[in-house]
Amino acid sequence: MSQTTQKGMVAHWSFDEGNGKSVEDVVSGIHDPIDYVFNEAKYQKPSDPQWRDGILGKALLFDGYSTFVTRSAQSIQTPTSAITIEAWVAPRCFGGIDDDQLSAIVNQHNRDLKQGFILGMYKHGSWSFQFGVNGEWIEIWSIDNPLPEKEWSHIAATYDSEEATVHLYLNGQEVSKKTLSYSVPLTPSKEDLIIGKNNYGKPVGEKFTLNMFNGLIDEVSIYKRAVTQEEINDHISAVLCFYGGLIPAIKDEVLQFDRALYDQDRHRPQYHVTAPGHWMNEPHAPIYFNGQYHLFYQHNPQGPYWGYLHWGHWVSEDMVHWRDLPIALTPEKEAVDPDGDWSGSACYDENGVPALFFTAGNKDWIPDQMTGLARSTYIEDGDNNLTNWVKHPEPITLQPKGEGLLKDDFRDPFVWKEEDTWYQIVGTGIEGRGGTATVFTSRDLLNWEYRGFLYEANHEKYPYIGPIWELPVLLPLGKGKHIFIISPVGEGADVEVYYWIGEWNKETCRFMPDFEEPKLIDVGDFHFTGPSGMIDPRTGRVIIFTIAQGERTTQAEYDAGWAHNGGLPVSLSLRDDGELEVEPIEELETLREDRILSLRDKRIEEVNQALADIKGDMLEIKLTFERGTANKYGIYVRQSPDRSEETLVYYNNQDTTFQVDRSKTTLDPGEITQGVQGKEVKIDNEDITLRVFLDRSMIEAYLNKRKSLTTRAYPLQEDAIGLSLYGDESVNVKSIDIWTMKGIHS
């Protein structure tokens, strides 16, 4: 079929090219351009659209946000008296679910004018053929026979104006039929014909468009007649004869994100945890099981923008080197989460097997957020990677009524077990009183008793802690103390990671802090957010994970194809003076490759002479200044040879602040990183020790194990990879060690 023109065929794209930036319509011989973000890449070398093995020969992989094929309206005549559209499709996901339009497979339409046609899919795989006739817009749907994800399906839609009938066929079987009350031709549209993108997709932000196809498309045909069901089955049989008459399974790697493609980006971190591609929010639900750490993350496989959230999944043996696993949780029509899976946590169930607690989105409920439970199938299948999860059919906790809680703000369950009781705290907010966390207890994970508010802070006195608390975490620090961590959001909130240290009473389910005003773990600005945590059962350490926000324009994220990454895993402990100690986990030392500098007791000028030959954007730097009377002590990173671009991380000895100066971070007009960030960090009379992790655009610095400072830098110049120290020439550098670092994903 792919090489033969059938009776009445107007156009046929076989997608057998397998390379290049255009695809041929074999009927007309016209080569239609393929739009794709990396055709003209900004942050890496240009590359062709992604081609994969198809149902026949090759197929085009549509990335869900930038890939589409365009045929100009002047180059194709839309059939009117009768039409058939057929194609083989394998969706990778179903696109934006917050919109009421179709994600187009093939379309040439203007719905407002009731012109043209669209064949596309909707949320959860339902699909539809729609077209304009005589000033009306006709729709025919296949809802009970949806398209499956990650499987080949043959779809066909026909309209015969003479018989006034519309048909939908899935794999040769009629799944929907509609008879019109009149016989009238399809009204053509003057729009371009587009494969993979809706003519009128809903805009998201300043750059992105919803209603685009994500997955494989192959063997697209358009006819100026209504092809019969028998003919459609003949077309299918002609393809499946190569597979013994059965639709072939798609190998996992065919639809997986090509991590290597995105890792070519000169700004993309290599030893911070990243999604294989597209959008990620906070890492969450860390848990250790049978020799492996599991970590999940908010993920939009549709594109590098927020929306349609799934749970991505990594696994590691050391919390440093991570492997990608299949998506753990996907929104499902008949489940508790038809409208999205937001953050949550993991704990051990009654069998000692991990269970996931997640924020389930369901717009048919009020409020539309609730706690869902998913159980691992490990006991049944023995899969130590925990790739299969079964959701409980009903929500297990709902927002309590009668407490004056903010509508639709009930999310991010954090669950743990003490003795024979499981505890669950969920972030929310009280109308007019600020954020809080509700507490529930259970003896069986399914039946939960509401126990009130964990803690209420003085929102009037500290308005920056916001009207809503997200991602609450409560963990024991030792010495009878717990740490309670939140991320405030909402009007007036300072979206950072705040904490209190105090006492947890498991009988009353209340937390009593030792101090009233919350404190920061990180003193950057909106780069260290989205906390999750656990007690490492191997070492007893308190470990937290965070998202490292990208701080980029939507245009930059569109051009990059990915957005955000995780911060380094951080160990928290209680110092003898009652303050919090913050340091990256010791396992990160396994990433050290070569020690390229090691000096002791040198003046800044001497060190800078040695640094003149040190270049890199994947480094660990450990630096101790002898405390003196100098004003500032610090280090420039991502420094260009002419110093037109550079970022300064420093400690101000006069006002005891830990800061980063990004006034010269980038010359790229498309980037927005700028300004000075930081806050006061008192270190008494200690020497100044900076530990700086430089990972392409990521800069993560730690001061005397007291605070971290996370920030971003996106230099324009590729040679902005130099280093130099900043400070009075009289300052003594007690030690400086620099290592090159290895990547972490496999």
Whether 485 maps to a domain, the answer reads yes
- The pair of structure tokens assigned to 221 is 């045909």
pLDDT value of position 84: 98
On average, the pLDDT of the chain sits at 96
Q: Is the same domain home to 694 and 718?
A: yes
Q: What is the pLDDT of residues 399-422, one digit of tens each?
A: 999 999 998 899 999 999 999 999
The encoded tokens of residue 492 equal 């007036």
Q: How far apart are CA 695 and CA 270, in angstroms?
A: 6
Same domain, residue pair 238 and 359: no
Average pLDDT, integer, range 727-734: 90
Position 296 in a domain = no
Stated pTM of the model: 0.97
Q: How many domains does the chain have?
A: 3
The DSSP bridge partners found for residue 527 are: none
Of 9-13, 704-708, 726-730, the range with the lowest mean pLDDT is: 726-730
Q: Are residues 656 and 516 in the same domain?
A: no
Residue 706 placed within a domain: yes
Q: Please tell me the total number of residues recorded for the chain in this structure.
A: 746
| Of 355 and 308, more confident | 355
Return the structure tokens found at 35.
Answer: 């739009």
CATH code of 85's domain: 2.60.120.200
Both 649 and 685 in one domain: the answer is yes
Q: Is residue 311 part of a domain?
A: no
Express each pLDDT in 322-340 by its tens digit.
Answer: 999 999 999 999 999 999 9
CA-based R_g, the chain, Å: 28
The pLDDT, as a whole number, for residue 98 is 64
Looking at residue 629, its pLDDT comes to 84
Write the CATH number for 392. 2.115.10.20
Q: Are 118 and 107 in contact (CB under 8 A)?
A: yes
pLDDT score for 695? 98
Question: Is the same domain home to 697 and 680?
Answer: yes
Angstrom distance (rounded) from CA 608 to CA 722? 11
Give the closest residue to 548 by CA, choosing from 740, 327, 283, 343: 283
- 232 and 90 Cβ atoms separated by less than 8 Å: no
- Cβ-contact 726, 650 below 8 angstroms: yes
pLDDT given for residue 531 in this prediction: 98
178: which 2 tokens? 């509609």
Omega before residue 367 within 30° of 0, cis: yes
Are 611 and 466 within one domain? no
| Distance in angstroms (rounded) separating the CA atoms of residues 101 and 485 | 40
Tell me the per-residue pLDDT of 221-259, one tens digit each, with 9 for 90 and over: 999 999 999 999 999 999 999 999 999 999 999 999 999
pLDDT score at 3: 43
Determine contact, residues 700/692, Cβ cutoff 8 Å: yes
Provide the terminal-to-terminal Cα distance of the chain, rounded to the nearest Å: 40
pLDDT at 739 > cutoff 80: yes
Q: 259-285 pLDDT, tens per residue?
A: 999 999 999 999 999 999 999 999 999
107 and 68 within one domain: yes
pLDDT above 70 coverage of the chain, percent: 99
Q: Say if 294 falls within a structural domain.
A: no
Rounded to 5°, the CA angle 71-73-75 comes to 70
Residue 69 lies in a domain: yes
- pLDDT-based confidence at residue 6 (cuts at 50, 70, 90): confident
Q: Which pLDDT score, from 0 to 100, does residue 2 have?
A: 47
State pLDDT tens for residues 572-592: 999 999 999 999 999 999 999
Out of 209, 225, 253, pick the residue that ends a domain: 253
Quick: pLDDT tens for 371-396: 999 999 999 999 999 999 999 999 99
- The CATH number assigned to the domain holding 640 equals 2.60.120.560
Is 270 a member of any domain? no
* Domain identity same for 540 and 602: no
The answer on 487 and 354 residing in a single domain is yes
Given 534, 558, 586, the domain boundary residue is 586
**Which residues are within 8 A (CB) of 91 and not within 5 positions of it... i.e. 6 or more apart?**
121, 125, 147, 148, 149, 150, 213, 214, 215
pLDDT of 628 reads 86
Q: Are residues 582 and 729 in the same domain?
A: no
H or E stretch covering 398: none
What's the rounded Cα separation, in Å, for the pair 733 and 723?
Answer: 15
The pLDDT tens digits of the residues spanning 73-114 come to 999 989 999 999 999 999 999 976 567 899 999 999 999 999
Residue 1 has pLDDT above 60, yes or no: no
Domain boundary residue, one of 219, 253, 287: 253
Instruction: Let me know whether 237 and 366 are in one domain.
Output: no
Q: Are residues 207 and 347 in the same domain?
A: no
Give the residue numbers spanning the domain of 701: 592-741
In a domain, 309, yes or no: no
